[in-house]
């Protein structure tokens, strides 16, 4: 860990928990209900990851949706997603090396936070499923609560840094999705690291918003512990 950095902020879905395929499957089903044809892979990578449920539904409907409809569809979709996670017990775990990296950071006095566009029911599920409060203070788990714009707006990363009493420039941000990487760079992060859970290294090498690329967190533990 470079001594210039005092904090680390992690995106969650696709970064700490590699669940992107489950979200893709759930949104394929719901987008087909909303507009008769499912999202293409390109649409989902561009308009889904890092966005709020309201943003996604608005894109599918091509108009601002009624809030009651957003709530209904989002609750149904997220319940389906959580059920998929519970049934796929073998693959419902934190990314390789993540726990060791948390412990390394905390041991060395580095503050850590999560910045996810997931909403509270999913965040509560993650906290219980992965015992996140063992490493993260609850006030440092920042999620979509209706007060922040979805990525690629930088709001959630700025809020996460503030929860650590730090500026974004004092933090490293780990992300996997394009919208999140753009948001991380726009926040003024000291360093933006891409995690190759969704795409290969070549994809991320073409992005100006990425400073470093990792395949998982084990390489950090080996090089820094």
Q: Return per-residue pLDDT of the chain as tens, 225 residues.
A: 556 799 999 999 999 999 878 878 888 877 887 788 888 878 877 777 777 878 888 888 888 888 888 888 888 888 888 998 999 989 999 999 999 999 999 999 999 999 999 999 999 999 999 999 999 999 999 999 989 998 999 999 999 999 999 999 999 999 999 999 999 999 999 999 999 998 899 999 999 999 999 999 998 866 543
Distance, CA of 211 to CA of 191 (rounded, Å)? 6
Return all residues near 100 (Cβ < 8 A) that are at least 6 apart: 217, 218, 221, 225
pTM of the shown model: 0.85
Residue burial 168-185, b: 16+ Cβ < 10 Å; e: rest:
bebbbbbbbbbbbbbbbb
């Amino acid at each position: 860990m470079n001594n210039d950095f005092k904090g680390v902020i992690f995106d969650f879905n696709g970064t700490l928990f590699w669940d992107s395929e489950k979200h893709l499957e759930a949104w394929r089903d719901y987008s087909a209900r909303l507009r008769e044809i499912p999202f293409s892979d390109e649409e989902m990578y561009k308009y889904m990851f890092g966005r709020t449920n309201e943003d996604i539904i608005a894109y599918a409907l091509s108009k601002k949706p009624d809030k009651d409809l957003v709530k209904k569809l989002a609750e149904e979709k997220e319940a389906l997603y959580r059920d998929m996670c519970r049934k796929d017990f073998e693959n419902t775990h934190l990314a390789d090396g993540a726990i060791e990296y948390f412990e390394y950071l905390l041991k060395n006095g580095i503050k850590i936070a999560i910045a996810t566009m997931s909403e509270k029911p999913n965040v509560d599920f993650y906290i219980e499923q992965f015992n996140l409060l063992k490493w993260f203070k609850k006030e440092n788990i920042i999620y979509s609560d209706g007060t922040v714009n979805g990525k690629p707006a930088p709001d959630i990363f700025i809020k996460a840094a503030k929860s650590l009493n730090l500026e974004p420039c004092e933090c490293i941000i780990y992300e996997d999705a394009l919208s999140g990487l753009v948001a991380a760079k726009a926040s003024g992060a000291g360093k933006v690291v891409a995690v190759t859970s969704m795409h290969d290294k070549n994809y991320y090498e073409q992005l100006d918003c990425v400073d470093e690329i990792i395949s998982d967190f084990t390489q950090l533990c080996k090089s820094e512990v």
